[in-house]
Amino acid sequence: MSLLSRLLPRRRFDFHGGIHPPERKALSNGTPIRPGPMPAQLILPLTMHIGAPARPLVQVGDRVLKGEKIAEASGPVSVPVHAPSSGVISAIEPRPIQHPSGLDAPCIVLDTDGEDRWTALHPHPDFRAIPRPELLALIREAGIAGLGGAGFPTAIKLNLRDNQRIEQLILNAVECEPYITADDRLMRERAPALIRGIEILRYLVQPAETIVAIEDNKPEAIAAMRAAAEGTGIRIMTVPTKYPSGGEKQLIRLVTGKEVRSGGIPAEIGVVCQNIGTAYAVERAVVHGEPLIRRITTLTGEAFTQPGNVETLIGTPVQALLEAGGVTQPHRGRLIMGGPMMGFSIDHPMSPVVKTSNCIIAAPLTELPEPAPEQSCIRCGACADVCPAELLPQQLYWYSKAGEFDRARHYNLLDCIECGACSYVCPSNIPLVQYYRYAKAELRKQAAEHQKADRARERFEARTARIEKEKAEKEARRQARLAANRVKQAPDAAAPPAQADLKKAVNDASAAYKTAVKAAKEAEASGADNAVALRAEAERLKAHADALKANLRDAKAAGPAAPAHDDGLPALKKAVADASAAYKAAVKAMKDVEAGGDGDIDALRADTERLKAEADRLKAALRDAKAAAPAVVAAPVQEDPVAALKKAVADASSAYKAAVKAAKEAEASGDGDLDALRAEAERLKPTGSKPNCVTPRRRPRPHHHQPHRQPPRLRPPAMTRSKNATSA
Amino acid sequence: MNLISVTSPHTTGPSRTQRVMAQVLLATLPGLAVLCGLFGWGSLINVVWACAAALACEAAVLRLRGKPVGFHLADGSALVTAVLLALAIPPTAPWWLTLVGVGFAIIFAKQLYGGLGMNPFNPAMAGYVLLLISFPVDMTRWLPPFEAPDLATSLQLFLGRDHGIDALTGATPLDSLRTWAGDAAALAAQPALHGTFAGLGWEWVNLAFLAGGLWLLWRRVITWHIPAALLGALALCALPFWLHDSARFASPLFHLFSGAAMFGAFFIATDPVSAATSRTGRLIYAALIGVLIWVIRSFGGYPDAMAFAVLLLNLAAPTIDYYTQPRSYGHSKPKRGIGG
Ligand code: SF4
Ligand code: SF4
């Protein structure tokens, strides 16, 4: 940071939209953090983080100590799980957990023995003495995954490339969701430990500046953090109370004025964002050697007689927390894990608290009533006014509801952070976020199917390429042998075999012609747009067959008198036949795909085209060879250029395939370089070696940004219109 | 346990469609009061009759379409359409005129397009234009202000007994302007053109609708974009021509406080269903309405132009939307078109 920018007063930034729901924080922020209950059973899901599930290291019946690792990370994006208390593993099986899918998930179940005996811990009070890679490993081994948001493994976010300069390390202590006060209490009560944790993160990331962002509705926490940060250079920044200022992207904009690219990560713009609770977990892990086995969770909602914050063991069933908070009556109403804006309904009270569970809300219906029935969208635009991602939520809604997911994606559905601000303000009670989740899931499904098809195509291509290569090699060997023989016994070479070869070639060519005619007819009948090309191809094959026939006649006429005429030709002819066969197979595959209406048709077509080019080239070589026939001894010499050519063709086509693949991937990930990649692919595409050969034309892809002539009135189709409105 | 399981968010704001509609209705009251004060009971009778007709039409169509009648009637949108249309119709209108207008607005302009939220045209204005084209005489029979007929006369008019009605009617300021534009002396002699600060009587009508509109703004039922852009464009168009030739062209103030200017700016053009979507889009949409109003008032065949201007821009709204998508967070530029 330049001196000037240090001296100038900081600009305040803002993000678009946002809402001010009732905060309701006073329900739970008045009392100190208290220890959570010691339940008889702890349920530890193997996926409490984003990424691959952890792999159990224990078996049923094993006795474990508090802090012992019971499941290990199973990949780069994964973290281990530790025993939150001592006891015996009683089951490893699917259990109900809080998950939007409502499905059970594999869990390790630990029957606690009440002794709460620790395993041996390895504290590192002087973290600066540890090299950074080791420190990162330590954090990963402690099982730390973002405590505030989705639970992304923390070590990965902190692991930067060597040349990556981080300007801002932002500690997200905004806690903008109503009701939740876990970070608030944590900062009020444990500010020095938090600052230590932040120092560790700083040491790892080496940012130019470190900022703790706190919403201005937490004056006590701000004061405590200011006092603790005194002299460290860590800046405590207050941000105006507005939901969702704690969303990572919104916070980055708020603090730095920078925007994370759509689909990108903050590190690209020199920002690392960590939750303040994560900083605490890091401090416990490094300075005290304690893995992540407990967290601060807010118990709130009017159903709790003793709301407040508890430091609860991870794996504690929600039921135990309800009891600990004084919910004695069977609870009726809403039970939510997380905040009221983005939290999830808990269907089963035995679902456990996980690493990301910052809040349990038990609210009677008087507090959070049942959703009102959905009415028609009146296009009031209130949703667009509050959307922090600057989307047009009502358009997303129309398209999601109508099942036009590609259009929804065009309207940047994938940038929706599901903050719920739009649903909150919608006067017609439309559960907008629910529609977006549905549409996103559908898009994901489509992408997965696409990928599957891609993989199938790649396998097919690899196989074709391998077979061709083998064939080519065999051919080369055979030709070498033949040529060698021929040189030796040229005078003895007999015409009949040569003629037989030619005859076979003629037959092959006629057969190919017939197939092509048939294909062309079918294509014409079905109105496929390659019909013309196929027809031309058939014509060409016919001409070829005729030429071959003429050759055969000539050969017959020449009779035994021209034995040399066919030297080296059989091999080439065979190659021609093989190539045509491969071409035919490809055409068939293409047809099948086309019939199936799959999207990979372009790739296949390119493939086909390439094969045809190969066949043409070989045929040309054959003709050349025939022309050169009198020069018998020249035959072996001719092979070399053929092999070289073949290799060049193979190289070109594999380069092309790679380019196509890259383009596909770019497309799938919505990357901006798509056009460049496509152009590159086009450039690499092998072209027919004969200028006059007719190649099946690539069908132009449907263009995405083509303006429609019709006024794009945003109406769902008639189908959805008729069953509109009530969600009864 | 008896848990309800829904996806987030678990709480919603206080805004409700019914409440929005109710506030719009409330905000029309000052305007209605002034209309009644100036022109007698006709407007009130119109409003009540139109509401009844609208509810009946809406219920009938909902039943035919197999929709829950009570649920949809409760959103109040039919009442809003009815009230807005009734306020636009002259207080001398006979019952069948209102009925035809409301019936067309509800059945054709709204329900046949799929009901609330689906109609491309503002239903009230669609009904109004139908009436204006079909019954131009009845639709332009306004009374002179401050000479309000008594209730009995108003009822007579409502029942369609129009004996002597022509003796009652008088030219509105916009009528006078259109008739006498270019003739400075004649203009000066038109009492209708010389109210306290704008057209006689109508200045108060517009002021009342302005008050109601400002209240809607304050209640955040509408945003400033549409009224400001509409009125601003209207005034901006009027200003240079008026400066250039005040005998032919009316002043910006006169335009802002004549005819349906305020009513249209705050109550008609702000109808979100048929307007453009994004903020920029709405600014463009409303500004173009303002321009069109001025053009039609100054050069067109009809004295006022709100309904035509709004309907024309309703037609253009999708195109405006097409070009005015906001730039989303994390994108370098806004998207265009509708994809797919
Ligand atoms: S979705 Fe709701 S908030 Fe958005 S425009 Fe429609 S009615 Fe208004
Ligand atoms: S949920 Fe998505 S569309 Fe709705 S306000 Fe949040 S980011 Fe915008």
Please write the tens of the pLDDT for every residue from A237-262: 999 999 999 999 999 999 999 999 99
Using pLDDT thresholds of 50, 70 and 90, give the confidence band for residue A564.
Answer: very low
pLDDT value for A725? 36
pLDDT value for A19? 94
pLDDT value for A719? 35
Residues near A194 by beta carbon (within 8 Å), at least 6 away in sequence: A186, A187, A225, A228, A276, A279, A280, A283
CA atoms within 13 A on the CB side of B122: 29
Does the beta carbon of A466 sit less than 6 angstroms from any atom of ligand 1?
A: no
Ligand 1 centre and the CA of A104: distance in Å? Answer: 35
For residue range A261-316, list pLDDT tens digits in order.
998 999 999 999 999 999 999 999 999 999 999 999 999 999 999 999 999 999 99
With b meaning 16 or more CB within 10 Å and e meaning fewer, what string describes A45-82? bbbbbbbbbbebebeeebebbbbbbbbebbeeebbbbb
By the 10 Å C-beta count (0-12 exposed, 13-18 middle, 19+ buried), A536 is classed as middle
Does the beta carbon of A387 sit less than 6 angstroms from any atom of ligand 2?
A: yes
User: Residue B230 phi/psi, 5° resolution?
Assistant: -65, -55
pLDDT value for A315? 95
For residue range A603-632, list pLDDT tens digits in order.
556 665 666 676 677 667 666 666 655 444
Using pLDDT thresholds of 50, 70 and 90, give the confidence band for residue A602.
Answer: low
C-alpha distances in angstroms, A487 versus A416, A483, A622? 74, 6, 19
Ligand 1 centre and the CA of A391: distance in Å? Answer: 13
Residues near B276 by beta carbon (within 8 Å), at least 6 away in sequence: B282, B284, B285, B317, B320, B321, B324
Residues A33, A309: contact at Cβ < 8 Å? yes
C-alpha distances in angstroms, A430 versus A272, A291, A394, A424? 35, 43, 10, 9
CB contact, 8 Å: B9 with chain A? yes
Using pLDDT thresholds of 50, 70 and 90, give the confidence band for residue A333.
Answer: confident
| Residues of chain B contacting residue A427, judged by C-beta atoms under 8 Å apart | 15-17, 19-20
Of the two residues A163 and A365, the one the predictor is more confident about is A365
- At which residue do the structure tokens 């219109």 appear? A721
Residues B198, B258: contact at Cβ < 8 Å? yes
| Residues of chain B contacting residue A720, judged by C-beta atoms under 8 Å apart | none
Residues A459, A452: contact at Cβ < 8 Å? no
ipTM: 0.84
pLDDT value for A558? 59
Q: Which two tokens stand for residue B89?
A: 């119709």
Find out whether the peptide bond into A371 is cis, omega within 30 degrees of 0: no
Distance, in Å, from the CA atom of A596 to the CA atom of A600, rounded to the nearest integer, reads 10
CA atoms within 13 A on the CB side of B336: 7
Does the beta carbon of A378 sit less than 6 angstroms from any atom of ligand 1?
A: yes
Using pLDDT thresholds of 50, 70 and 90, give the confidence band for residue A210.
Answer: very high
For residue range A23-64, list pLDDT tens digits in order.
999 999 999 999 999 999 999 999 888 889 999 999 999 999
Sequence-ordered strand ranges (E) for A467-554: none
With b meaning 16 or more CB within 10 Å and e meaning fewer, what string describes A354-381? bbbbbbbbbbeeebbeebeebbbbbbbb
Average pLDDT over residues A538-556: 69
E strand or H helix at A273: strand A271-275
pLDDT value for A600? 52
pLDDT value for B149? 79
Cβ contact, residue pair B329, A342, below 8 Å: no
The ligand whose atoms approach the alpha carbon of A437 most closely is 2
pLDDT value for A170? 96
Distance, in Å, from the CA atom of A32 to the CA atom of A188, rounded to the nearest integer, reads 9
Residues A439, A413: contact at Cβ < 8 Å? yes
Ligand 2 centre and the CA of A415: distance in Å? Answer: 9
Q: Can you give the pLDDT of all 340 residues of chain B as single tens digits?
A: 456 667 788 888 877 888 889 999 999 999 999 999 988 898 999 999 999 999 999 999 999 998 889 888 888 899 999 999 999 999 888 999 999 999 999 999 999 988 888 889 999 999 999 999 999 888 888 888 877 778 888 888 888 776 666 666 777 878 777 777 777 777 777 777 777 777 788 899 999 999 999 999 999 889 999 999 999 999 999 999 999 988 888 889 989 998 889 999 999 999 989 999 888 999 999 999 999 999 998 888 777 788 999 999 999 998 998 888 888 998 888 877 766 4
Note the Cα A253 to chain centre separation in Å: 24
Does the beta carbon of A389 sit less than 6 angstroms from any atom of ligand 2?
A: yes
Residue A19's beta-bridge partner residues?
A243
pLDDT value for B250? 86
Helix (H, G, I), strand (E, B) or coil at B105: helix
A379, A391, A410 member nearest B340 (Cβ): A410
Residues A37, A312: contact at Cβ < 8 Å? yes
For chain A, give the percent of residues with pLDDT over 70.
Answer: 68
Closest residue by CA, ligand 1 atom 2: A426
pLDDT value for A494? 44
Residue A397's beta-bridge partner residues?
none
Q: Which of B97, B7, B24 is nearest to A378 (CA)?
A: B24
Using pLDDT thresholds of 50, 70 and 90, give the confidence band for residue A421.
Answer: very high
pLDDT value for A662? 57
Does the beta carbon of A428 sit less than 6 angstroms from any atom of ligand 1?
A: yes
Closest residue by CA, ligand 2 atom 7: A416
| pTM to 2 decimal places | 0.71
Q: Which of A155, A128, A138 is nearest to A290 (CA)?
A: A138
The ligand whose atoms approach the alpha carbon of A725 most closely is 1
Helix (H, G, I), strand (E, B) or coil at A232: coil
Average pLDDT over residues A203-232: 94
Residue A430 has pLDDT above 50, yes or no: yes
Using pLDDT thresholds of 50, 70 and 90, give the confidence band for residue A196.
Answer: very high
* A13 min Cα distance to partner chain B (Å): 14
Highest mean pLDDT among A216-230, A458-472, B154-168: A216-230
Domain boundaries, chain B: 15-170
pLDDT value for A585? 66
Does the beta carbon of A413 sit less than 6 angstroms from any atom of ligand 2?
A: no
Residues of A numbered 342-371 whose beta carbons fall under 8 angstroms of chain B's beta carbons: which are they?
342-347, 349, 361, 363, 365, 368, 370-371
For chain A, give the percent of residues with pLDDT over 90.
Answer: 46
Cβ contact, residue pair B7, A347, below 8 Å: no
Residues near B256 by beta carbon (within 8 Å), at least 6 away in sequence: B198, B206, B231, B234, B235, B262
Residues B265, B305: contact at Cβ < 8 Å? no
Distance, in Å, from the CA atom of A292 to the CA atom of A131, rounded to the nearest integer, reads 21
* B9 min Cα distance to partner chain A (Å): 4
pLDDT value for A637? 42
Residues B178, B168: contact at Cβ < 8 Å? no
E strand or H helix at A90: strand A87-96
Amino acid at A292: L
